[in-house]
Chains A and B, each alone.
Chain A
Amino acid sequence: MHKPYLGKKEGDPGTTPVLIPTQRKGKQIVTSELLQPYFPDADLVKAVNVALLINRPLLIMGEPGCGKSLLARDIAFNWYGENMLLDKKFYEWPIKSTSKAKEGLYDFDYLGRLHAANARDAKAKDPANFVRLGPLAKAMEASTEKEKAVLLIDEIDKADIDFSNDLLNELEQNTFTITETGETRTNPHKPFIVITSNSEKDLSDAFLRRCVFHHINLFSADKLKTNAPKLWLEKIIKARYYNGQENADPMISKAINAFIDFRQRMNNDVLSYRKTVSTSEFLDWFSVLKQCAEDKAVPALSADLKRWLNDQGTTRIPFGNALFKTTKSLLDMQTV
């Protein structure tokens, strides 16, 4: 039985930013990626485990910037720790408008084979030498009964409308055929697949039937009436910018209150504002505030911040450009 996804408790690894090595030479890390802390809510943790239980991909939807893509990384980190990339337990397949389902499985290097043939390289005789596996195939092959690889199929709605249908068999059977060599590769153990979508295109019923669906809705009108979003944002800020330590910085509550206020106002008129402020924009904005507070930015910017911090709500919020992405919101949301 595969171990479950447990989310995070205080003090767990990953509650502060972690460097994930991507390349190591002996004990020395050559290259690495920064993994930001991620705090899933209880429902999301349960949804992951439901998908794991019935061995189906997890389809995550939600507004842009709500943390859909980070989830897959966090699951891999939860299971395999900081070696998730070196141990080849996490794969990512970012989908583009031109992506084809086959690219996830394999690509055949025709040019390489021609070049090898031209150079009279013996490799050219065997077409298997020129098969380059895609992320879906790699994740399939890296999965065992107790250690599933995690695959993130990011923004599936960017692809052509037929894309999801083209993946049905591979997702269901966990098998595919390389037509150039005639080889069929199969693995009885499926990877754990997280699929994200921004709902720009509909997905087929047949595809949806094969997925467990979860919608991340952190800032709905109902949730904003409670204290939960504030506490959650506070937890993220402290994890990201204060190394997980308790901190009574007044800027934290001021920024969170401002964000919640903006969000509530936008929720009342989503159509006019078009793009509501989301977690990722809030974190970008807070990062600017933090840098200015620490005098890392130019003095003029820091002065803006000081004016706003000492004010009771009449001063324009500083650096709104990092927070608001439409003209209407930038003009309307000058003050809290």
Chain B
Amino acid sequence: MAKNTNIELPLYNAFIQLMQLEKDQPNKGIDPGSYLQLIDVLHQGYALNSKDELLFFCKKLWLKPFHTGNAAINEQVMENIINDNLHAYETVTKKKRNKATDASLKSDGDLDPLNNRGDIEPKKSAEDKPNEDGPEKKGSPEKQIPTPAATTTSLVINIEESREGKALDQQDYSTYFNDKKFKFDYTYLTVSPRFIEQTIRSLRYKVKGTGKPVIDMEATVKDVGAKGYFDNWQFSEEEDFVTRWTLLFDRGGSMIAFHGLQDTMTEAVMKGSIKNDGDIFYFRNIARDFLFTTPQRTLAVPFDEVANGARRNILIVSDGGAARGSFDEDRIQHTYLMIHQLRKHRIAWLNPLPKERWKNSSASVIAGFVNMFQPGNDYSDDLGNIVRLFKSKLITPITR
């Protein structure tokens, strides 16, 4: 049999478009495994009776709870993309039906195998095998059917060009912004609350005596052996998990954009069954004499009390001047002093701005004497690196 090199897989374009849309999202529900599942199901002859049936199946396969309310990818977007691709499918189906008398493929059929699977044998006729001479066959007119626009978004910035009626979306203007200090990409902060909570929870220690009393079987058996009779259970206090975080949040002006991130982190630390053995303190740009215990900075504790207290894992959340994009000598000096005073503790610095924004700002200097991380997203390991740093046995000294 001759090799068919022009095989096109059904709904492949739709799948790729959906994958691309989901690429920058914190949660992922569409993966190659699910696409293979779709192929498998189509190969068995299911979901081929009507367009609605196939659309429903795809939505059940790919639509996840986190898509609800998502601006980039949601049920409607998914439906549109699949529908656009199903349009090609439908055209081919109709053509085939004209050519052949076999009416096993109905574009608006009354059979519903999802409801009546027990009564219907899977169709395995050649025409129903979408991956062999399927709907999106190369060279067929369907290739010209426009697919939805590319998934990358570009900003419309040139008003003059816009007035002249030029097609702005044909050019990628985002490159103009690459070196600009004011570029602020919202999608960068794709770290989800779940990921923050999980990361924080992974920094937990088993501490004896923090749990509830449980029967100590070994001690009970020993006791029975020693006495020769059983009179009472022996108890021990169970170990329980305790998280040990001290969060130092910068609430300065440039950090306003990240209050949401800070609030999510606070919630992640405070809620749940894991015992929180830490504190949250607030400061503005630089912590000097006091650390505030409320975001509104109404209550405070002396800085020395924290600096000289029991050893802690401290996570400082601040942009370190990266948002302003300039050097501030005073800020650098005081930050160095602050880190120096906290040197007995293990310190990590979470800078919510991307690493490339640290260049030519105070943050790049501060990153030289403290371990500074960017948040990344659920699939990068930046938050994981912070946990790894805290879990390492070494105290993190000032690195310069």
Contact indicator B115/A204 (Cβ below 8 Å) = no
Q: Is A61 an interface residue (CB 8 A)?
A: yes
Interface string of A195-214 (1 = CB under 8 A from B): 00101001111001100111
Interface of A is mostly: mixed
Q: Is B64 an interface residue (CB 8 A)?
A: yes
A43 to B63 CA separation, bound complex (whole angstroms): 14
Contact indicator A199/B114 (Cβ below 8 Å) = no
Q: Is A19 an interface residue (CB 8 A)?
A: no
Q: Which residues of A contact B116 (CB under 8 A)?
A: 4, 6
Q: Chain A: residues with CB nearer than 8 A to chain B?
A: 1, 3-4, 6-7, 42-43, 45-47, 49-54, 59, 61, 97-98, 110-111, 114, 118, 160-162, 197, 199, 202-205, 208-209, 212-215
Q: Is B169 an interface residue (CB 8 A)?
A: no
User: Chain B residue with minimal CB distance to A111?
Assistant: B215
A-B contact list, 6 entries, CB within 8 Å: A4-B114, A46-B114, A49-B117, A160-B272, A161-B198, A205-B378
Contact indicator B230/A118 (Cβ below 8 Å) = yes
Q: Is B31 an interface residue (CB 8 A)?
A: yes
Contact indicator B29/A209 (Cβ below 8 Å) = yes
Q: Which of B28, B117, B198 contacts A4 (CB 8 A)?
A: B117
Q: Is B244 an interface residue (CB 8 A)?
A: no
Q: Chain B: residues with CB nearer than 8 A to chain A?
A: 27-29, 31, 33-34, 37, 41, 46, 56-57, 60-61, 63-66, 68, 112, 114-118, 192-194, 197-198, 201, 215, 217, 220-221, 224, 230, 272-273, 378
Interface centre among A50, A208, A209 (most CB of B within 10 A): A50
Contact indicator B60/A47 (Cβ below 8 Å) = yes
A3 to B118 CA separation, bound complex (whole angstroms): 5
User: Chain B residue with minimal CB distance to A52?
Assistant: B117
Q: Which residues of A contact B41 (CB under 8 A)?
A: 53-54
Q: Which residues of B contact A1 (CB under 8 A)?
A: 117-118
Please list the 6 inter-chain residue pairs (A to B) with the smallest Cβ-Cβ separation, ordered nearest first. A202-B194, A4-B117, A50-B60, A49-B114, A46-B114, A208-B64
**Given A46-B115, A204-B194, CB of A214 within 8 Å of CB of B60:** yes
A204 to B198 CA separation, bound complex (whole angstroms): 10
B387 CB, min distance to chain A CBs, angstroms: 15
Contact indicator B115/A61 (Cβ below 8 Å) = no
Q: Which residues of B contact A45 (CB under 8 A)?
A: 114-115
User: Chain B residue with minimal CB distance to A43?
Assistant: B56
User: Chain B residue with minimal CB distance to A159?
Assistant: B273
**Given A205-B29, A209-B33, A213-B65, CB of A4 within 8 Å of CB of B118:** yes
A281 CB, min distance to chain B CBs, angstroms: 23
Contact indicator B114/A161 (Cβ below 8 Å) = no
Contact indicator B117/A213 (Cβ below 8 Å) = no
B254 CB, min distance to chain A CBs, angstroms: 29
Contact indicator A46/B118 (Cβ below 8 Å) = no
Contact indicator B60/A212 (Cβ below 8 Å) = yes
Contact indicator A50/B57 (Cβ below 8 Å) = yes
A199 CB, min distance to chain B CBs, angstroms: 7
**Given A118-B224, A209-B29, A209-B33, CB of A50 within 8 Å of CB of B114:** yes
User: Chain A residue with minimal CB distance to B63?
Assistant: A213
A23 CB, min distance to chain B CBs, angstroms: 31
Starting from the known contacts A4-B118, A199-B65, A208-B66, 5 additional A-B residue pairs (CB-CB under 8 Å) come to: A1-B117, A6-B116, A46-B112, A46-B114, A202-B66
Q: Which residues of B contact A53 (CB under 8 A)?
A: 41, 46, 114, 117
Interface centre among B33, B117, B194 (most CB of A within 10 A): B117
Q: Which residues of B contact A51 (CB under 8 A)?
A: 60
Contact indicator B29/A49 (Cβ below 8 Å) = no
Contact indicator A46/B28 (Cβ below 8 Å) = no
**Given A213-B65, A215-B65, CB of A202 within 8 Å of CB of B193:** yes
Contact indicator A6/B215 (Cβ below 8 Å) = no
A219 CB, min distance to chain B CBs, angstroms: 16
User: Chain A residue with minimal CB distance to B37?
Assistant: A54
Q: Which of B28, B68, B217 contacts A114 (CB 8 A)?
A: B217
B359 CB, min distance to chain A CBs, angstroms: 33
A213 to B61 CA separation, bound complex (whole angstroms): 8
Q: Which residues of B contact A118 (CB under 8 A)?
A: 224, 230
Q: Which residues of B contact A47 (CB under 8 A)?
A: 60
Q: Which residues of B contact A204 (CB under 8 A)?
A: 194
Contact indicator A209/B31 (Cβ below 8 Å) = yes
Q: Which residues of A contact B60 (CB under 8 A)?
A: 46-47, 50-51, 212-214
A49 to B57 CA separation, bound complex (whole angstroms): 10
Q: Which residues of A contact B61 (CB under 8 A)?
A: 50, 54, 212
User: Chain A residue with minimal CB distance to B60?
Assistant: A50
B198 CB, min distance to chain A CBs, angstroms: 6
A162 to B197 CA separation, bound complex (whole angstroms): 10
Interface centre among A49, A59, A97 (most CB of B within 10 A): A49
Contact indicator A161/B217 (Cβ below 8 Å) = no
A42 to B116 CA separation, bound complex (whole angstroms): 12
B186 CB, min distance to chain A CBs, angstroms: 20
Q: Which residues of B contact A111 (CB under 8 A)?
A: 215
A42 to B115 CA separation, bound complex (whole angstroms): 9
Q: Which residues of A contact B192 (CB under 8 A)?
A: 202
Q: Which residues of B contact A212 (CB under 8 A)?
A: 60-61
Contact indicator A161/B230 (Cβ below 8 Å) = no
A212 CB, min distance to chain B CBs, angstroms: 5
A56 to B379 CA separation, bound complex (whole angstroms): 25
A54 to B378 CA separation, bound complex (whole angstroms): 28
A52 to B27 CA separation, bound complex (whole angstroms): 25
A16 to B263 CA separation, bound complex (whole angstroms): 50
A303 CB, min distance to chain B CBs, angstroms: 45
Contact indicator A205/B27 (Cβ below 8 Å) = yes
Q: Which of B27, B34, B217, B273 contacts A160 (CB 8 A)?
A: B273
A42 to B61 CA separation, bound complex (whole angstroms): 17
A41 CB, min distance to chain B CBs, angstroms: 12
Contact indicator A161/B201 (Cβ below 8 Å) = yes
A171 CB, min distance to chain B CBs, angstroms: 14
Q: Which of A114, A203, A214 contacts B221 (CB 8 A)?
A: A114
A66 CB, min distance to chain B CBs, angstroms: 15
A54 to B60 CA separation, bound complex (whole angstroms): 11
Contact indicator A4/B115 (Cβ below 8 Å) = yes
Q: Which residues of A contact B118 (CB under 8 A)?
A: 1, 3-4
A59 to B115 CA separation, bound complex (whole angstroms): 19
A130 to B193 CA separation, bound complex (whole angstroms): 41
Contact indicator A205/B56 (Cβ below 8 Å) = no
